[in-house]
Structure formats: structure tokens, C-alpha cells
Amino acid sequence: MQAGTVVGNLAGVIAVRPEEADIVAELKAGSEEAFSWLIATYHQPIYSVIARTLQNPADAADVTQDVFIKVFRGISGFHGESSLRTWMYRIALHEASNQRRWWSRHCRQEVTIEAETGHSADGQALCIKDTLIDEHESPFDMAAHAEIRARVEAELREIAEPFRIVLILRDIEGLAYDEIAEILKLNLGTVKSRLMRGRAQIKARLAPFAEAAAKRPAGAARRPLSAVACAKEAQ
């Protein structure tokens, strides 16, 4: 803080500050104006002292607030054995000491999320952060997958039956070509031919949907889907 600002602040305080006995009396009477004056006058120096005595200065704001709450609640017990400022600093240092003890006790129990907790099956080190990963789908992915499934199912019903059945058995159910041929009593060449035509048909039907998905905003974009990918999404 610049020297001119300090002098200006001190001059303002000297000009408006009532006698300490008067301000104490007003505080005891519950005057909001007196308490506002107290905060305006002592908040910064109290905060400064607390911040410099804590291990974590980020806690200083909360501790400073606690100090003024204790001053407000305890002012009736202030009998002038010391100055008001001395009494407040004593409270501030006491609260800071309590915070340091709390910090010391609890920080011994804290561990970083980078700490190793063991090893994976392949011998790689596992950290706590690895156990915090949510492997479930996000709400967006769930909605997107549901949309894809519904669209694929709808378009699949529009494919001619001979091609649709082969497409379902191969791309959705994952059966081998020879299994499909045996089930449908067809030769292998016919199965592959029908599958190729079925894939071409559903790809054409899903092309507008895939193009629209690719044009979505970055946060909601999905890669264009091939007929096979769409079919697998429908599982």
C-alpha cells in the first residue's frame, strides 16, 4: 500500500473514530453501525496477521470471519482490562493457533491423488486418481447411443428381408459366415453377397443421419458412422 494511502486512511480514522469506551458501549448495545466501523477499521490488519501465521494462507479469510463473529458474541465480556485492539488481536492469534492445530492433525491424513495404491495386473503402478475415473457413459453418450439405436432399428426394418436377416446375423449378432450359411441354408457366396448389399442399403439410409451428427457443435459432435458401426451401436 502506498504511503499516501496509508496517511489518508489514518487521517480518516483519527477524524471519525469515537472514544474507545463509546464504541465498546455501542457494540455492547448491539449497534450495527459500530460493528461495521469495527470491521472496516480492523479487518485488514487482522486478516494480515492471520494469513502470515497459517500454513495455508487461503484459510485466512474464514478464520478472520470467525474472529469477528467471536468479537461480536464476546463483546459483553470485554471489561477494558486491555485495549479493544489488543483484545481482538488476542482472539485472532488464538483462532489462528486453533486453525494451525486442525491443519496439522488433518494434513497428516491427507494424501495426493497421485499417490500409488498398488499395481495393475500387467504390473503398471495404480494411483488413487485411477480409481476415481467414472467408466460409465456420460448422460450425453447415453442419450446419443439411444438415439443411434432407435435410428438404426428403424432403418433396419426398411431393408429388404433377405438382406436384413444376413445383416442382423453378421453385424449385430456377430455370427460367422459359415454359421449364417448353415442357418439360412445358403451357399457362402450368397451370404456374402446379401451382406454386402444389405450394408450398402443401410449405409445409404443412415448417411443423412451420420452427416448431421458430424455437423453438431464440438461438445456434442460424434464421428460419422459407417453402416457396420451403426449396426454395432444398436446392440
pLDDT of residue 225: 45
In-domain check, residue 56: yes
In-domain check, residue 132: no
The pLDDT-based confidence of 189 (bands split at 50, 70, 90) is very high
In-domain check, residue 169: yes
7, three cell numbers? 496517511
By the 8 A CB rule, do 226 and 203 touch? yes
What amino acid occupies position 202? I
By the 8 A CB rule, do 60 and 47 touch? yes
Same domain, 75 and 26: yes
Same domain, 85 and 157: no
Contacts 24+ apart (CB under 8 A), 194-201: 194/162, 194/163, 194/166, 195/163, 195/166, 195/167, 195/170, 195/171, 197/163, 198/159, 198/163, 198/164, 198/166, 198/167, 199/167, 199/171, 199/227, 199/228, 200/227, 201/159, 201/160, 201/163
- pLDDT tens digit string along 133-182? 666 666 666 776 777 788 888 888 888 888 988 988 898 888 899 999 98
CATH number, domain of 198, equals: 1.10.10.10
Same domain, 25 and 103: yes
Same domain, 7 and 99: yes
What's the CA gap between 36 and 202, in Å, rounded?
73
189, three cell numbers? 457366396
CATH number, domain of 31, equals: 1.10.1740.10
Query: What is each CA distance from 20 to 23, 25, 38, 224, 235, in whole angstroms?
Result: 5, 9, 11, 76, 79
Same domain, 87 and 34: yes
pLDDT of residue 150: 83
In-domain check, residue 195: yes
- Residue 121 DSSP class: T
In-domain check, residue 58: yes
- pLDDT tens digit string along 134-148? 666 666 667 767 777
Same domain, 23 and 100: yes
Domain C-terminal end among 67, 92, 107: 107
Same domain, 146 and 58: no
Q: Which residue has the higher pLDDT, 137 or 194?
A: 194
36, three cell numbers? 461495521
Same domain, 83 and 145: no
- Asked whether the predicted pLDDT for residue 111 surpasses 90, the reply is no
Same domain, 74 and 150: no
Provide the number of structural domains found in the chain: 2
Q: Which residue has the higher pLDDT, 11 or 128?
A: 128
In-domain check, residue 127: no
By the 8 A CB rule, do 221 and 214 touch? yes
- The percent of residues in the chain predicted with pLDDT above 90, rounded, is 29
Domain C-terminal end among 56, 91, 107: 107
With residue 209 as reference, give the H or E element that holds it: helix 188-214
What Rg do the C-alpha atoms of the chain give, in angstroms? 37
Same domain, 14 and 63: yes
pTM comes to 0.42
The pLDDT-based confidence of 197 (bands split at 50, 70, 90) is very high
- pLDDT tens digit string along 31-53? 999 999 999 999 999 999 998 88
Domain range enclosing 69: 3-107
